[in-house]
A and B are shown apart, each in its own frame.
Chain A
Amino acid sequence: MAGKRHILPGFKLTLGYTILYLSIIVLIPFSGLLLKTFAGGWEHFFKTITEPRVVASYYVSFGISLAAALVNGFFGVIAAWVLARYEFPGRKILDAIVDLPFALPTAVAGIALTTIYARNGMIGSLLEPYGIKVAYTQLGIFVALTFIGLPFVVRTVQPVIQDLSVDVEEAAATLGANRWQTFTRVIFPALLPSILTGITLAYGRAVGEFGSVVFISGNLPFKTEITPLLIITKLEQYDYTGAAALGFVMLVASLFILLISNGLQAWDNKRKGIA
């Protein structure tokens, strides 16, 4: 393998262009963020990221994202299972529509969900008599984040279910396991790494989400304000160092989530290697 490193042409050209373009679009602007973050000194940085209003936004962003990712974990596994294993009319359409939250602009999702869950909306008006408000509350943020995270668990678990060998399930059945035992002892453990990866991906996407949330959240400080919105608020007040500081916190959080997801994938690969 190492012997035929540079057989094909274009190594210098393509790698050089890749690095140049990556630097212009991603790396140099990011170094701008890092420099600006600490331009006001450590003290200012810590003061900004621990303001009560900012801390409240962490709870909203990171907490509700987690709830949405977990709900997606539960329904995503069911959806992946049904789409991978069952034949029924309309299955192919449902399978294609899973990716809608990837393809649909977030602003469109935002106004559509707000309209559905507003007090006079299709579902909002049904919940109103029970005193349940969705739009302009944390529940609304949860709905939006569940929508945008929906494809992740389905799309990471579905191929794993398709690749599961039916032999193992047959073996479990011949050894006297009922279907539930086969699921909990044989199938679920095999799916677990991909389920956790999917949940992590959905969580990572939800934490940074902006477009679908701003419409349905109502953006009340301390209650329904997400951290990305506070970045924009600070920019609008020309507080560039403050905005950069919050951006830095979000960036570190995203990298941390990315690290977890990579760790989960490595764990999965290792397990597969043993099996």
Chain B
Amino acid sequence: MAGATTTFRTKVVAPRRATAESPWIKGTLISILLLFFGFFLILPLYVVFHEAFSKGAGVFFKTFQDRATAHAIWLTLLTAAIAVPLNTVFGVAAAWALTRFQFRGRSLLISLIDLPLWVSPVIGGLIYVLVFGRQGWFGPWLFEHDIKIIFALPGIVLATTFVTFPFVARGLIPLMQAQGHKEEEAAMTLGANGWQIFWRVTVPKIKWGLLYGIILCNARAMGEFGAVSVVSGHIRNKTNTMPLHIEILYNEYQFAAAFAVASVLCVLALVTLIIKTYAEWQAERQLRAAAESVE
């Protein structure tokens, strides 16, 4: 049934005249869209690259030879390299538990997983300061043992992990829910063990949804500002990530340098959108194939 409606829908892209607007209204609506997107989406993109090269390519490339900039890029990559795999393992585990089994408290668990998306990123930083900061729960103990979490790498990783927490799980749960688990059960009756089922049956089924979640998780991890800003302490060459470094350069009126770093994150965002669009398209295709095979 579901398969039939989707294939039918794709054929009705151009509705018949009685259900179409007059060309005049159509033109107006398209123009409004173009204006709205032009002002709010395309102009900001253009400005980033325009400003990045406003002082010439020399200044642009010199920005990246600066030690503080290089360190900020390294720290951003390192943070994402820790936070993204952590949240990926969690996302897969959570999606498996939530879509393969029925248990009490399931919807509460889904809401709790979503929580980091709903609260201000500043709160994402605040909670760790309250737990690990000098006046926090473990503050005195950590100070005695000379362990630094806040204003150091662990704090930055924790805050980043918090704000990117739900992305992989959210990408997988609807997909795995819709796909069901008939194939996994078939594999089990054929004698496959849990890991074999997961790697050989589930992973190929969910790979596009998984990629979709990971790419969004990564984009947010590399670009997070609010949460990291609270826990970082803004120490140059030590705890400055790329977004924080942009803020410093901008506040020092080094606009071309600030936008040069920003343009790198902009390219990352655009690449993310391209991969996301492609992964979404592939995931939909997989889902449609699954829906048809059920019939």
Q: Are B123 and A103 in contact (CB under 8 A)?
A: no
Question: Given that A26-B116, A94-B37 are known contacts, is A32 also in contact with B265, CB under 8 Å in the complex?
Answer: no
Pick from A96, A147, A209, A235: contact of B273, CB under 8 Å = A96
**How far, in angstroms, from A193 to B45 measured CA to CA in the complex?**
32
Q: Are A26 and B225 in contact (CB under 8 A)?
A: no
Question: Quick check: is A87 within 8 A (CB to CB) of the other chain?
Answer: yes
B287 surroundings in chain A (CB, below 8 A): none
Task: State the Cβ distance, A256 to closest chain B Cβ, in Å.
Answer: 10
Q: Are B41 and A29 in contact (CB under 8 A)?
A: no
Question: Quick check: is B78 within 8 A (CB to CB) of the other chain?
Answer: no
Contact flags B188-199 to A (C-beta < 8 A → 1, else 0): 100001100110
Q: Are A208 and B97 in contact (CB under 8 A)?
A: no
Question: Quick check: is B289 within 8 A (CB to CB) of the other chain?
Answer: no
A25 surroundings in chain B (CB, below 8 A): 158, 161-162, 165
Task: State the Cβ distance, A11 to closest chain B Cβ, in Å.
Answer: 5
Scan residues 229-243 of chain A and give those whose CB is less than 8 A from a CB of chain B.
229, 231-232, 235, 238, 240, 243
Task: State the Cβ distance, A2 to closest chain B Cβ, in Å.
Answer: 7
Pick from B26, B94, B129, B272: contact of A14, CB under 8 Å = B94
Question: Given that A11-B97, A97-B37 are known contacts, is A33 also in contact with B130, CB under 8 Å in the complex?
Answer: yes
Q: Are A105 and B225 in contact (CB under 8 A)?
A: yes
B242 surroundings in chain A (CB, below 8 A): 105
Question: Quick check: is B246 within 8 A (CB to CB) of the other chain?
Answer: yes
B225 surroundings in chain A (CB, below 8 A): 105-107, 110, 210-211
Scan residues 54-111 of chain B and give those whose CB is less than 8 A from a CB of chain A.
86, 89-90, 93-94, 96-98, 100-103, 109, 111
**How far, in angstroms, from A210 to B247 measured CA to CA in the complex?**
13
Q: Are B9 and A162 in contact (CB under 8 A)?
A: yes
Q: Are B188 and A100 in contact (CB under 8 A)?
A: no
A111 surroundings in chain B (CB, below 8 A): 246, 250, 258-259, 262
B224 surroundings in chain A (CB, below 8 A): 105
Q: Are A75 and B120 in contact (CB under 8 A)?
A: no
Q: Are B273 and A99 in contact (CB under 8 A)?
A: yes
Q: Are A32 and B243 in contact (CB under 8 A)?
A: no
Q: Are B185 and A7 in contact (CB under 8 A)?
A: yes
Main secondary structure of the interface of A (DSSP, over half): helix
Closest residue of chain A to B9, judged by CB?
Answer: A162
Question: Given that A10-B100, A211-B225 are known contacts, is A32 also in contact with B136, CB under 8 Å in the complex?
Answer: yes
Question: Quick check: is A220 within 8 A (CB to CB) of the other chain?
Answer: no
Question: Quick check: is A184 within 8 A (CB to CB) of the other chain?
Answer: no
B4 surroundings in chain A (CB, below 8 A): none
Task: State the Cβ distance, A44 to closest chain B Cβ, in Å.
Answer: 15
**How far, in angstroms, from A115 to B253 measured CA to CA in the complex?**
12
Contact flags B264-294 to A (C-beta < 8 A → 1, else 0): 0110111011101100000000000000000
B158 surroundings in chain A (CB, below 8 A): 25
Question: Given that A18-B97, A210-B121 are known contacts, is A33 also in contact with B223, CB under 8 Å in the complex?
Answer: no
Pick from A14, A29, A94, A163: contact of B33, CB under 8 Å = A94
Q: Are A173 and B48 in contact (CB under 8 A)?
A: no
Task: State the Cβ distance, B45 to closest chain A Cβ, in Å.
Answer: 7
Listed A/B pairs (20) with beta-carbon separation below 8 Å: A10-B100, A11-B100, A18-B97, A26-B165, A29-B127, A29-B128, A32-B136, A32-B137, A36-B136, A96-B274, A97-B41, A100-B41, A105-B262, A105-B269, A116-B47, A123-B43, A231-B122, A235-B129, A240-B129, A247-B126
Task: List 7 tightest A-B contacts by C-beta distance, closest first.
Answer: A105-B223, A208-B120, A211-B225, A210-B226, A173-B18, A29-B127, A9-B194
Q: Knowing that A7-B185, A8-B101, A27-B112 are A-B contacts, what are 11 other residue pairs whose CB atoms are under 8 Å apart, sorted by A's residue number?
A: A29-B127, A29-B131, A88-B30, A100-B45, A107-B243, A108-B48, A115-B255, A170-B16, A174-B18, A243-B126, A250-B119
